[in-house]
Structure 1
Protein backbone atom coordinates (compact mmCIF):
# COMPACT_ATOMS: atom_id res chain seq x y z
CA UNK A 1 0.00 0.00 0.00
CA UNK A 2 1.23 3.53 -0.72
CA UNK A 3 1.78 5.91 2.19
CA UNK A 4 -1.08 8.18 3.27
CA UNK A 5 -1.73 11.07 0.94
CA UNK A 6 -0.71 14.34 2.55
CA UNK A 7 -1.76 16.93 -0.02
CA UNK A 8 -3.41 19.77 1.87
CA UNK A 9 -4.75 23.04 0.54
CA UNK A 10 -4.69 25.73 3.19
CA UNK A 11 -5.65 28.66 0.99
CA UNK A 12 -8.12 29.35 -1.78
CA UNK A 13 -7.15 27.95 -5.15
CA UNK A 14 -7.22 29.76 -8.44
CA UNK A 15 -10.16 30.24 -10.81
CA UNK A 16 -11.63 27.49 -12.99
CA UNK A 17 -9.38 25.87 -15.61
CA UNK A 18 -6.26 27.72 -14.49
CA UNK A 19 -3.11 25.89 -13.46
CA UNK A 20 -1.36 27.33 -10.46
CA UNK A 21 0.23 25.97 -7.33
CA UNK A 22 -1.48 27.57 -4.34
CA UNK A 23 0.39 28.63 -1.27
CA UNK A 24 -0.30 26.34 1.64
CA UNK A 25 0.05 23.09 -0.32
CA UNK A 26 2.77 20.83 1.00
CA UNK A 27 4.55 17.66 -0.13
CA UNK A 28 2.57 14.96 -1.89
CA UNK A 29 4.68 11.84 -1.08
CA UNK A 30 4.51 10.58 -4.66
CA UNK A 31 0.92 11.61 -5.35
CA UNK A 32 -0.24 13.69 -8.31
CA UNK A 33 -3.77 15.00 -8.81
CA UNK A 34 -5.88 16.56 -11.56
CA UNK A 35 -8.98 17.74 -9.73
CA UNK A 36 -11.79 20.22 -9.42
CA UNK A 37 -12.74 21.23 -5.90
CA UNK A 38 -14.89 23.57 -3.89
CA UNK A 39 -13.26 26.85 -2.98
CA UNK A 40 -11.67 26.83 0.42
CA UNK A 41 -14.00 29.07 2.38
CA UNK A 42 -13.76 28.55 6.16
CA UNK A 43 -17.54 28.73 6.59
CA UNK A 44 -18.28 25.93 4.08
CA UNK A 45 -20.76 23.39 5.41
CA UNK A 46 -21.22 20.32 3.23
CA UNK A 47 -23.23 17.31 4.35
CA UNK A 48 -22.43 15.24 1.29
CA UNK A 49 -21.43 15.06 -2.36
CA UNK A 50 -21.88 12.84 -5.39
CA UNK A 51 -20.85 12.08 -8.97
CA UNK A 52 -21.23 9.71 -11.88
CA UNK A 53 -17.71 8.61 -12.84
CA UNK A 54 -16.56 6.95 -16.05
CA UNK A 55 -14.66 3.70 -15.43
CA UNK A 56 -11.20 3.25 -16.97
CA UNK A 57 -8.31 0.85 -16.53
CA UNK A 58 -5.03 2.76 -16.93
CA UNK A 59 -1.98 0.44 -16.78
CA UNK A 60 -0.14 0.42 -13.45
CA UNK A 61 2.84 -1.57 -12.14
CA UNK A 62 5.70 -1.50 -9.63
CA UNK A 63 3.69 -0.07 -6.73
CA UNK A 64 1.89 2.53 -8.85
CA UNK A 65 -1.74 3.41 -8.37
CA UNK A 66 -4.15 5.32 -10.61
CA UNK A 67 -7.67 6.21 -9.56
CA UNK A 68 -10.69 8.47 -9.76
CA UNK A 69 -12.29 9.67 -6.59
CA UNK A 70 -14.80 11.82 -4.82
CA UNK A 71 -13.15 13.16 -1.68
CA UNK A 72 -14.85 14.84 1.29
CA UNK A 73 -12.70 16.45 3.93
CA UNK A 74 -12.51 18.55 7.04
CA UNK A 75 -9.07 18.98 8.53
CA UNK A 76 -7.37 15.60 8.86
CA UNK A 77 -10.60 13.61 8.42
CA UNK A 78 -11.14 12.34 4.86
CA UNK A 79 -13.81 10.17 3.19
CA UNK A 80 -13.33 8.86 -0.36
CA UNK A 81 -15.20 6.78 -2.90
CA UNK A 82 -14.21 5.92 -6.46
CA UNK A 83 -12.39 3.34 -8.53
CA UNK A 84 -8.76 2.27 -8.63
CA UNK A 85 -6.81 0.53 -11.42
CA UNK A 86 -4.64 -2.48 -10.76
CA UNK A 87 -4.59 -6.14 -9.80
CA UNK A 88 -4.57 -5.52 -6.06
CA UNK A 89 -7.51 -4.85 -3.80
CA UNK A 90 -8.61 -1.31 -3.08
CA UNK A 91 -8.13 0.58 0.18
CA UNK A 92 -11.74 0.27 1.28
CA UNK A 93 -12.09 -0.45 4.99
CA UNK A 94 -8.43 -0.63 5.99
CA UNK A 95 -9.24 2.31 8.25
CA UNK A 96 -11.44 0.66 10.90
CA UNK A 97 -15.00 1.63 11.71
CA UNK A 98 -17.00 1.32 8.45
CA UNK A 99 -20.21 -0.64 9.00
CA UNK A 100 -21.56 -2.61 6.02
CA UNK A 101 -25.36 -2.90 5.87
CA UNK A 102 -25.82 -4.21 2.31
CA UNK A 103 -23.69 -6.70 0.37
CA UNK A 104 -25.67 -6.36 -2.87
CA UNK A 105 -22.90 -4.12 -4.21
CA UNK A 106 -19.80 -5.51 -2.48
CA UNK A 107 -16.82 -3.38 -1.60
CA UNK A 108 -13.84 -4.46 -3.71
CA UNK A 109 -16.15 -5.29 -6.60
CA UNK A 110 -14.51 -5.61 -10.00
CA UNK A 111 -16.02 -3.65 -12.86
CA UNK A 112 -16.72 -6.04 -15.69
CA UNK A 113 -16.42 -3.38 -18.40
CA UNK A 114 -14.16 -0.39 -18.83
CA UNK A 115 -14.47 2.65 -21.05
CA UNK A 116 -12.69 2.77 -24.41
CA UNK A 117 -11.72 5.98 -26.19
CA UNK A 118 -14.14 6.91 -28.96
CA UNK A 119 -17.02 4.93 -27.48
CA UNK A 120 -19.79 5.76 -25.03
CA UNK A 121 -18.27 5.53 -21.56
CA UNK A 122 -19.14 2.99 -18.87
CA UNK A 123 -19.81 4.68 -15.57
CA UNK A 124 -21.00 4.21 -12.01
CA UNK A 125 -22.77 6.58 -9.63
CA UNK A 126 -21.28 7.22 -6.20
CA UNK A 127 -22.24 9.47 -3.29
CA UNK A 128 -21.48 10.14 0.36
CA UNK A 129 -24.07 11.81 2.61
CA UNK A 130 -24.27 12.70 6.27
CA UNK A 131 -27.28 11.52 8.26
CA UNK A 132 -28.28 14.76 9.96
CA UNK A 133 -30.11 12.90 12.72
CA UNK A 134 -27.07 11.11 14.14
CA UNK A 135 -24.03 12.40 12.22
CA UNK A 136 -23.10 9.12 10.50
CA UNK A 137 -21.69 9.38 6.95
CA UNK A 138 -23.36 7.01 4.46
CA UNK A 139 -21.95 5.51 1.26
CA UNK A 140 -24.34 5.14 -1.71
CA UNK A 141 -23.67 3.39 -5.03
CA UNK A 142 -25.32 3.01 -8.43
CA UNK A 143 -28.07 5.05 -10.05
CA UNK A 144 -30.72 3.98 -7.54
CA UNK A 145 -28.46 5.05 -4.64
CA UNK A 146 -28.15 1.73 -2.85
CA UNK A 147 -27.09 2.17 0.78
CA UNK A 148 -23.83 0.24 1.20
CA UNK A 149 -22.89 1.19 4.75
CA UNK A 150 -21.73 4.05 6.92
CA UNK A 151 -18.84 5.58 8.82
CA UNK A 152 -20.08 6.23 12.39
CA UNK A 153 -19.76 9.74 13.73
CA UNK A 154 -17.79 8.43 16.73
CA UNK A 155 -14.72 7.52 14.63
CA UNK A 156 -14.10 11.13 13.56
CA UNK A 157 -12.46 14.08 15.21
CA UNK A 158 -13.38 16.80 12.70
CA UNK A 159 -16.05 15.24 10.49
CA UNK A 160 -18.31 14.94 13.51
CA UNK A 161 -20.11 17.85 11.86
CA UNK A 162 -20.06 19.18 8.29
CA UNK A 163 -17.26 18.94 5.73
CA UNK A 164 -15.52 22.04 4.46
CA UNK A 165 -13.93 20.74 1.23
CA UNK A 166 -14.99 18.45 -1.62
CA UNK A 167 -13.02 17.39 -4.70
CA UNK A 168 -13.58 15.32 -7.83
CA UNK A 169 -11.09 13.95 -10.35
CA UNK A 170 -7.98 11.85 -10.83
CA UNK A 171 -5.17 10.85 -8.49
CA UNK A 172 -2.06 8.74 -9.10
CA UNK A 173 0.74 7.47 -6.91
CA UNK A 174 4.24 6.34 -7.84
CA UNK A 175 7.10 5.35 -5.51
CA UNK A 176 10.36 7.29 -5.81
CA UNK A 177 12.28 6.35 -8.96
CA UNK A 178 9.27 4.71 -10.63
CA UNK A 179 7.70 6.45 -13.69
CA UNK A 180 4.41 8.21 -13.06
CA UNK A 181 1.48 6.06 -14.27
CA UNK A 182 -1.18 7.19 -16.74
CA UNK A 183 -4.35 8.73 -15.35
CA UNK A 184 -7.90 8.17 -16.60
CA UNK A 185 -8.00 7.45 -20.35
CA UNK A 186 -4.16 7.64 -20.56
CA UNK A 187 -4.51 10.84 -22.60
CA UNK A 188 -4.89 14.53 -21.87
CA UNK A 189 -8.58 15.53 -21.92
CA UNK A 190 -9.95 16.91 -25.20
CA UNK A 191 -13.37 18.02 -23.88
CA UNK A 192 -15.19 15.00 -25.31
CA UNK A 193 -16.83 12.58 -22.88
CA UNK A 194 -16.41 9.72 -25.39
CA UNK A 195 -12.64 10.19 -25.18
CA UNK A 196 -11.98 11.61 -21.72
CA UNK A 197 -12.15 10.23 -18.21
CA UNK A 198 -14.72 12.27 -16.31
CA UNK A 199 -16.82 12.87 -13.25
CA UNK A 200 -20.19 14.23 -14.30
CA UNK A 201 -23.31 15.44 -12.56
CA UNK A 202 -21.12 16.47 -9.64
CA UNK A 203 -23.10 17.69 -6.66
CA UNK A 204 -22.73 18.82 -3.08
CA UNK A 205 -25.29 18.69 -0.30
CA UNK A 206 -25.53 21.79 1.88
CA UNK A 207 -26.15 22.01 5.63
CA UNK A 208 -29.92 22.03 5.01
CA UNK A 209 -29.77 18.68 3.20
CA UNK A 210 -30.33 20.24 -0.24
CA UNK A 211 -28.41 18.70 -3.16
CA UNK A 212 -27.06 21.41 -5.45
CA UNK A 213 -24.59 21.95 -8.27
CA UNK A 214 -21.36 23.35 -6.80
CA UNK A 215 -21.17 26.59 -8.77
CA UNK A 216 -17.99 27.89 -7.14
CA UNK A 217 -15.30 25.38 -7.98
CA UNK A 218 -11.66 25.66 -8.97
CA UNK A 219 -9.06 23.34 -10.48
CA UNK A 220 -5.63 22.11 -9.51
CA UNK A 221 -2.97 20.03 -11.26
CA UNK A 222 0.39 19.21 -9.66
CA UNK A 223 2.17 18.75 -12.98
CA UNK A 224 0.44 19.89 -16.22
CA UNK A 225 3.19 18.21 -18.29
CA UNK A 226 1.77 14.86 -17.19
CA UNK A 227 -1.92 15.46 -16.41
CA UNK A 228 -4.66 18.02 -16.93
CA UNK A 229 -8.24 18.76 -15.88
CA UNK A 230 -11.16 20.80 -17.19
CA UNK A 231 -14.06 21.95 -15.00
CA UNK A 232 -17.02 22.61 -17.31
CA UNK A 233 -20.43 23.79 -16.16
CA UNK A 234 -23.49 22.87 -18.26
CA UNK A 235 -21.61 20.46 -20.54
CA UNK A 236 -24.21 18.11 -22.06
CA UNK A 237 -26.61 19.47 -19.40
CA UNK A 238 -24.33 18.41 -16.52
CA UNK A 239 -21.41 19.77 -14.54
CA UNK A 240 -18.40 17.80 -15.84
CA UNK A 241 -14.85 17.39 -14.57
CA UNK A 242 -12.76 15.92 -17.42
CA UNK A 243 -9.25 14.81 -16.48
CA UNK A 244 -6.36 12.55 -17.43
CA UNK A 245 -2.88 12.31 -18.87
CA UNK A 246 -0.06 10.01 -19.93
CA UNK A 247 2.15 10.43 -16.85
CA UNK A 248 5.42 8.57 -17.46
CA UNK A 249 8.06 10.71 -15.78
CA UNK A 250 10.70 9.71 -13.24
CA UNK A 251 10.19 11.08 -9.75
CA UNK A 252 13.31 12.24 -7.93
Structure 2
Protein backbone atom coordinates (compact mmCIF):
# COMPACT_ATOMS: atom_id res chain seq x y z
CA UNK A 1 0.00 0.00 0.00
CA UNK A 2 1.77 3.12 -1.20
CA UNK A 3 0.44 6.31 -2.71
CA UNK A 4 2.00 7.93 -5.74
CA UNK A 5 3.75 11.26 -5.20
CA UNK A 6 2.94 14.14 -7.50
CA UNK A 7 6.40 15.05 -8.68
CA UNK A 8 7.98 18.44 -9.31
CA UNK A 9 6.04 19.14 -12.53
CA UNK A 10 2.61 19.56 -11.04
CA UNK A 11 -0.20 19.89 -13.61
CA UNK A 12 -3.11 22.32 -13.31
CA UNK A 13 -6.04 22.85 -15.68
CA UNK A 14 -4.84 26.24 -16.88
CA UNK A 15 -1.56 24.73 -18.14
CA UNK A 16 -3.54 23.41 -21.13
CA UNK A 17 -3.83 26.99 -22.38
CA UNK A 18 -0.21 27.96 -21.85
CA UNK A 19 1.93 29.28 -19.03
CA UNK A 20 2.51 32.65 -17.40
CA UNK A 21 5.36 34.72 -18.84
CA UNK A 22 8.24 35.73 -16.62
CA UNK A 23 7.22 38.48 -14.23
CA UNK A 24 3.57 37.34 -14.12
CA UNK A 25 1.75 34.99 -11.74
CA UNK A 26 -1.39 32.86 -12.16
CA UNK A 27 -4.52 33.92 -10.25
CA UNK A 28 -7.69 31.84 -10.00
CA UNK A 29 -10.74 33.94 -10.82
CA UNK A 30 -14.33 32.87 -10.28
CA UNK A 31 -17.58 34.81 -10.70
CA UNK A 32 -19.08 33.02 -7.70
CA UNK A 33 -17.93 32.84 -4.11
CA UNK A 34 -16.44 29.42 -3.48
CA UNK A 35 -17.42 27.32 -0.46
CA UNK A 36 -14.94 27.64 2.37
CA UNK A 37 -12.95 24.42 2.40
CA UNK A 38 -9.43 24.13 3.69
CA UNK A 39 -6.77 21.88 2.22
CA UNK A 40 -8.50 18.89 0.68
CA UNK A 41 -5.60 16.57 -0.09
CA UNK A 42 -7.86 13.97 -1.66
CA UNK A 43 -8.84 16.32 -4.45
CA UNK A 44 -5.33 17.76 -4.65
CA UNK A 45 -6.41 21.37 -4.35
CA UNK A 46 -3.98 24.00 -3.05
CA UNK A 47 -5.86 26.19 -0.59
CA UNK A 48 -3.46 27.34 2.13
CA UNK A 49 -4.61 29.58 4.93
CA UNK A 50 -2.62 30.80 7.92
CA UNK A 51 -3.86 32.54 11.06
CA UNK A 52 -2.34 35.98 10.65
CA UNK A 53 -2.72 36.77 14.32
CA UNK A 54 -5.00 39.75 13.65
CA UNK A 55 -8.22 37.78 14.24
CA UNK A 56 -9.13 37.78 10.55
CA UNK A 57 -11.34 34.76 11.20
CA UNK A 58 -12.83 36.07 14.44
CA UNK A 59 -16.37 36.58 13.08
CA UNK A 60 -16.69 33.17 11.44
CA UNK A 61 -15.89 34.53 7.97
CA UNK A 62 -19.00 36.74 7.91
CA UNK A 63 -17.02 39.83 6.98
CA UNK A 64 -13.39 38.86 7.52
CA UNK A 65 -11.17 36.01 6.46
CA UNK A 66 -10.03 34.87 3.02
CA UNK A 67 -7.87 32.34 1.24
CA UNK A 68 -5.09 32.20 -1.33
CA UNK A 69 -4.80 35.47 -3.29
CA UNK A 70 -8.32 36.68 -2.50
CA UNK A 71 -6.93 39.19 -0.01
CA UNK A 72 -3.65 41.08 0.34
CA UNK A 73 -0.86 39.45 2.29
CA UNK A 74 0.54 36.43 0.48
CA UNK A 75 3.24 37.28 -2.07
CA UNK A 76 3.35 34.74 -4.88
CA UNK A 77 6.76 34.35 -6.48
CA UNK A 78 6.21 31.27 -8.66
CA UNK A 79 4.48 31.41 -12.06
CA UNK A 80 3.84 27.67 -12.40
CA UNK A 81 1.36 27.00 -9.59
CA UNK A 82 -1.93 28.76 -8.97
CA UNK A 83 -3.17 28.87 -5.39
CA UNK A 84 -6.75 27.60 -5.28
CA UNK A 85 -6.31 25.69 -8.54
CA UNK A 86 -6.87 21.96 -8.88
CA UNK A 87 -3.80 19.78 -9.34
CA UNK A 88 -3.88 16.73 -11.58
CA UNK A 89 -3.93 13.81 -11.43
CA UNK A 90 -6.31 13.50 -8.47
CA UNK A 91 -6.86 10.57 -6.12
CA UNK A 92 -9.65 8.20 -7.07
CA UNK A 93 -12.08 6.63 -4.59
CA UNK A 94 -10.95 3.02 -4.32
CA UNK A 95 -8.24 3.62 -6.92
CA UNK A 96 -4.85 5.30 -7.26
CA UNK A 97 -3.90 7.70 -4.48
CA UNK A 98 -1.71 10.77 -5.05
CA UNK A 99 0.06 12.89 -2.47
CA UNK A 100 1.38 16.43 -2.12
CA UNK A 101 4.30 17.37 0.12
CA UNK A 102 3.50 20.76 1.64
CA UNK A 103 5.80 22.79 3.89
CA UNK A 104 5.34 26.12 5.65
CA UNK A 105 8.50 27.44 7.24
CA UNK A 106 9.98 30.70 8.49
CA UNK A 107 13.03 32.26 6.88
CA UNK A 108 15.13 33.49 9.80
CA UNK A 109 16.80 36.33 7.91
CA UNK A 110 13.70 37.98 6.45
CA UNK A 111 11.14 36.78 8.99
CA UNK A 112 8.85 35.74 6.10
CA UNK A 113 6.83 32.52 6.17
CA UNK A 114 7.30 30.52 2.96
CA UNK A 115 4.98 28.02 1.31
CA UNK A 116 6.77 25.17 -0.43
CA UNK A 117 5.06 22.41 -2.40
CA UNK A 118 7.44 19.56 -3.14
CA UNK A 119 10.60 21.49 -3.96
CA UNK A 120 8.82 24.53 -5.37
CA UNK A 121 8.78 27.75 -3.34
CA UNK A 122 5.38 29.16 -4.27
CA UNK A 123 5.60 32.39 -2.29
CA UNK A 124 5.53 33.83 1.20
CA UNK A 125 3.54 35.64 3.87
CA UNK A 126 5.57 38.73 4.91
CA UNK A 127 6.59 38.62 8.56
CA UNK A 128 5.35 42.20 8.90
CA UNK A 129 1.67 41.19 8.63
CA UNK A 130 1.78 38.88 11.64
CA UNK A 131 1.15 39.47 15.29
CA UNK A 132 1.17 35.97 16.76
CA UNK A 133 3.58 34.63 14.17
CA UNK A 134 5.98 37.57 14.25
CA UNK A 135 8.34 35.43 16.33
CA UNK A 136 7.28 31.80 16.01
CA UNK A 137 4.25 29.53 16.00
CA UNK A 138 3.12 27.93 19.25
CA UNK A 139 0.74 25.43 17.63
CA UNK A 140 0.44 23.72 14.24
CA UNK A 141 -2.89 22.54 12.81
CA UNK A 142 -3.54 19.96 10.11
CA UNK A 143 -6.89 18.89 8.71
CA UNK A 144 -9.97 20.41 7.11
CA UNK A 145 -12.46 23.15 7.81
CA UNK A 146 -15.93 23.98 6.53
CA UNK A 147 -17.60 27.33 7.11
CA UNK A 148 -21.36 26.77 7.32
CA UNK A 149 -23.07 29.90 6.04
CA UNK A 150 -25.90 30.59 3.63
CA UNK A 151 -27.11 26.98 3.62
CA UNK A 152 -30.83 27.82 3.96
CA UNK A 153 -31.51 26.51 7.45
CA UNK A 154 -29.59 23.24 7.29
CA UNK A 155 -25.95 22.22 7.30
CA UNK A 156 -23.96 22.86 4.14
CA UNK A 157 -23.59 19.99 1.67
CA UNK A 158 -19.97 20.96 1.05
CA UNK A 159 -17.77 17.87 1.26
CA UNK A 160 -14.56 17.76 3.24
CA UNK A 161 -11.69 15.75 1.83
CA UNK A 162 -13.01 12.91 -0.34
CA UNK A 163 -16.52 13.36 1.01
CA UNK A 164 -16.24 10.07 2.92
CA UNK A 165 -15.78 9.46 6.62
CA UNK A 166 -12.33 8.51 7.98
CA UNK A 167 -13.53 5.08 9.06
CA UNK A 168 -13.47 3.97 5.41
CA UNK A 169 -9.69 4.13 5.59
CA UNK A 170 -6.96 4.24 2.98
CA UNK A 171 -8.01 4.66 -0.63
CA UNK A 172 -11.40 6.07 0.29
CA UNK A 173 -10.93 8.71 2.98
CA UNK A 174 -8.57 11.69 2.84
CA UNK A 175 -5.50 11.58 5.05
CA UNK A 176 -2.55 13.65 6.17
CA UNK A 177 0.61 11.74 7.01
CA UNK A 178 4.15 12.26 8.26
CA UNK A 179 3.19 15.18 10.49
CA UNK A 180 6.32 17.21 11.11
CA UNK A 181 7.37 20.63 12.34
CA UNK A 182 10.45 22.83 12.03
CA UNK A 183 11.96 23.92 15.34
CA UNK A 184 13.78 27.17 16.09
CA UNK A 185 17.12 25.68 15.03
CA UNK A 186 15.70 24.81 11.60
CA UNK A 187 15.63 21.06 12.26
CA UNK A 188 12.67 19.02 11.06
CA UNK A 189 11.04 16.93 13.78
CA UNK A 190 8.38 14.22 13.67
CA UNK A 191 5.24 15.16 15.57
CA UNK A 192 4.61 12.69 18.37
CA UNK A 193 1.12 11.12 18.41
CA UNK A 194 1.06 11.91 22.14
CA UNK A 195 1.23 15.63 21.35
CA UNK A 196 -1.47 15.62 18.66
CA UNK A 197 -4.86 16.77 19.95
CA UNK A 198 -7.92 15.60 18.02
CA UNK A 199 -10.45 18.38 17.49
CA UNK A 200 -13.80 17.72 15.78
CA UNK A 201 -16.78 20.07 16.07
CA UNK A 202 -19.46 18.12 14.14
CA UNK A 203 -18.53 14.40 14.01
CA UNK A 204 -21.90 13.52 12.48
CA UNK A 205 -20.96 15.68 9.48
CA UNK A 206 -17.16 15.37 9.30
CA UNK A 207 -14.87 13.32 11.49
CA UNK A 208 -11.23 12.53 12.14
CA UNK A 209 -9.40 9.48 13.44
CA UNK A 210 -5.75 8.70 13.93
CA UNK A 211 -4.36 6.05 11.60
CA UNK A 212 -2.29 2.93 12.25
CA UNK A 213 -0.62 2.40 8.87
CA UNK A 214 3.06 1.43 8.94
CA UNK A 215 5.64 3.77 7.36
CA UNK A 216 3.18 6.68 7.35
CA UNK A 217 4.53 8.36 10.45
CA UNK A 218 2.04 10.20 12.63
CA UNK A 219 -1.06 10.44 10.45
CA UNK A 220 -4.83 10.67 10.46
CA UNK A 221 -7.85 10.19 8.20
CA UNK A 222 -10.47 12.91 8.05
CA UNK A 223 -13.48 14.24 6.15
CA UNK A 224 -17.12 13.62 5.49
CA UNK A 225 -20.12 14.37 3.22
CA UNK A 226 -21.68 17.30 5.02
CA UNK A 227 -25.48 17.49 4.89
CA UNK A 228 -27.11 14.06 5.30
CA UNK A 229 -29.78 12.25 7.34
CA UNK A 230 -27.51 12.46 10.40
CA UNK A 231 -25.97 15.84 9.65
CA UNK A 232 -28.86 18.31 9.67
Normalising by structure 2, report the TM-score. Answer: 0.66
| Equivalent residue number for residue 184 of structure 2 | 207
User: Is 1:197 the counterpart of 2:197 in the alignment?
Assistant: no
Q: Of residues 107, 112, 119 in structure 2, which corresponds to 1:131?
A: 107
| Equivalent residue number for residue 120 of structure 1 | 96
Do the aligned partners of 1:63 and 1:174 also contact (CA within 8 Å) in 2? no
**In the aligned structure 1, how far is the partner of 2:51 from the partner of 2:210?**
20
1:155-195 CA-to-partner distances (Å, cap 9, x unmatched) read: 22221110111111111122142432222122211263212
**In the aligned structure 1, how far is the partner of 2:78 from the partner of 2:204?**
42
Do the aligned partners of 2:127 and 2:133 also contact (CA within 8 Å) in 1? yes
Q: Of residues 37, 50, 57 in structure 2, which corresponds to 1:66?
A: 37
Change (3 A) 1:235 1:221: farther
Residue 72 of structure 1 deviates from its aligned partner by: 5.2
Structure 2 unmatched ranges of 5 or more: 7-31, 41-47, 57-65
Higher helix share: 2
Q: Which moved more, 1:153-162 or 1:63-72?
A: 63-72
Residue 77 of structure 1 deviates from its aligned partner by: 6.4
Change (3 A) 1:202 1:64: same
Larger radius of gyration: 2
> Which ranges of 4 or more aligned residues in structure 1 deviate by more than 4 Å?
69-75, 249-252
**In the aligned structure 2, how far is the partner of 1:74 from the partner of 1:97?**
9
Residue 74 of structure 1 deviates from its aligned partner by: 7.3
Q: Which moved more, 1:235-244 or 1:207-216?
A: 235-244
**In the aligned structure 1, how far is the partner of 2:212 from the partner of 2:95?**
22
Higher strand share: 1
Residue 202 of structure 1 deviates from its aligned partner by: 1.7
**In the aligned structure 1, how far is the partner of 2:86 from the partner of 2:49?**
21
Residue 131 of structure 1 deviates from its aligned partner by: 0.4
Structure 1 unmatched ranges of 5 or more: 1-51, 54-60, 79-89
How many corresponding residue pairs?
182
Give the number of the structure with larger relative contact order, counting CA–CA contacts within 8 Å between residues 6 or more apart. Answer: 1
Q: Of residues 145, 162, 170 in structure 1, which corresponds to 2:136?
A: 162
| Equivalent residue number for residue 121 of structure 2 | 147
